[in-house]
Amino acid sequence: MADAPASMTARFLPYARQTVEDDDIAAVVAALKSDFLTTGPLVEKFEAAFAAATGATQAVACNSGTAALHLAALASDLKEGEAAIVPALTFLATANAVRMTGAEVVFADVDPDTGLLTPQTFAAAIASARNGGLKPRAALPVHLNGQVCDLPALAKIAEQHGIILLEDACHALGENNVGAAKHSAAACFSTHAVKAITTGEGGVVTTRDSAMAERMRRLRTHGMVREPADFSSRDLGFDGNEPNPWYYEMREIGWNYRIPDILCALGLAQLQKLGRLFARRREIAALYDRLLAPLSPAIRPVPHGSAPHGWHLYAILVDFSALGTTRARFMNALRKEGIGTQVHYMPLHLQPYYRERYGKQRLPGAETYYARCLSIPLFPAMHDGDVERVVQALARLVSKVSA
Ligand SMILES: Cc1ncc(COP(=O)(O)O)c(C=O)c1O
């Protein structure tokens, strides 16, 4: 992509930003003019397109990534008295979805350089759950920043222990085979504003298990059953052999996690450009990799090698103390230069709610990653000149110290 004119390069660069184009807007306007604002034909169309994009056989769309995680956990029968393993380095939603089922969370440590759950930290978390008298029934590996976990290795361990794998793929939609759910029961995506594609707020669960998909579709709308063939009550549901025209029934508690047609219209338009948006993310990441190399070891990219990636975030590891600064001062200095950054994430075992529930824990990998991580701007509309501007600002902060 060509460089932007000088006047454009001075704009504020957030750490992430949606790409909404004229065709997206036209698709939403058309949906608004249609007969359906809530659940209509575009929900199924969006689900089919999402399944095709990820290589899954089924996709269940809902109104947030959090709802997607909750639906997947519910459809795995996770419940009170059981436990699920969650890497400590993730967004609140991964663990909260487990708590929303009544099950307990067992936090696993992560690799200090990638922030990912590894086979070693997974096995250690299973052992620690067992030592604490908890039976882990599920685990939710997180593809942090878009880096793809070693799923085949995690799946092998999960199988040995009878654990269901539910991928938190909220960062990982891209051309990287994430979502095909070949090594897991399901993968959960977010289509929140700053994700790979957006519906404003939204989420999708992909799976190869059609019974699980059906259950999630029921749970997304109050646990309601509308198909006469599935009615359990003959006397309430039928007039003779004819189903009552008003009748629906509920056999288990569900939620309103429905996504409206208006948002699916946007999602469908966005999915059509996923390849282009992802390719630009990958290009920007490669440019950062190259331009940041001279700033090592004070600043270095989170190591990714040639492993598959979703490039949701571009995270760097900064040795703030070697630079004689703090992360807050560093972030504020960048902000003064018009550059937004964010921390993904404070480990969840340090959150007051979880600390109170499970006591103080030490997870050194997660804490080491947290101490150094910083997400710098990455979004498809960035120009090469924007990337250079970010790296130059980082270089100035490094040289201030070495001067
Ligand atoms: C790793 C991860 N999991 C889950 C979620 C929840 O997604 P949503 O915000 O769509 O509920 C997010 C959203 O930022 C996330 O980053």
Task: Please identify which of the residues 45, 79, 156, 195 carries the catalytic annotation.
Answer: 195
CA of 93 to the centre of ligand 1 (A): 6
**Model confidence pLDDT, tens digit, residues 167-218:** 999 999 998 899 999 999 999 999 999 999 999 999 999 999 999 999 999 9
Cα–Cα distance for residue pair 258/203, rounded to 1 Å: 10
Model confidence at 2, in pLDDT bands (50, 70, 90)?
very low
33 in catalytic set: no
CA of 398 to the centre of ligand 1 (A): 32
Pocket of ligand 1, beta carbon within 6 A: 64-66, 90-91, 93-94, 142, 168, 170-171, 190, 192, 203
Q: What angle do CA 153, 157, 162 make, to 5 degrees?
A: 140
pLDDT at 9: 46
Q: Are 106 and 86 in contact (CB under 8 A)?
A: yes
403 pLDDT above the threshold of 70: no
Cα–Cα distance for residue pair 108/365, rounded to 1 Å: 10
pTM of the model: 0.96
What atom in ligand 1 is closest to the CA of residue 142?
A: 1
pLDDT at 6: 46
**Model confidence pLDDT, tens digit, residues 152-169:** 999 999 999 999 999 999
Residue of the CA atom closest to atom 10 of ligand 1 = 65
106 pLDDT above the threshold of 60: yes
CA of 310 to the centre of ligand 1 (A): 14
Question: How deeply is 360 buried, as exposed, middle or buried, from its count of CB atoms within 10 A (0-12, 13-18, 19+)?
Answer: exposed
For 202, half-sphere exposure in the C-beta direction (CA atoms, 13 angstrom radius) is 28
1 pLDDT above the threshold of 80: no
CA of 170 to the centre of ligand 1 (A): 6
Q: Which of 66, 198, 257, 259 to mutate to test the pocket of ligand 1 (most atoms within 8 A of CB)?
A: 66
Tokens of 43: 């929900």
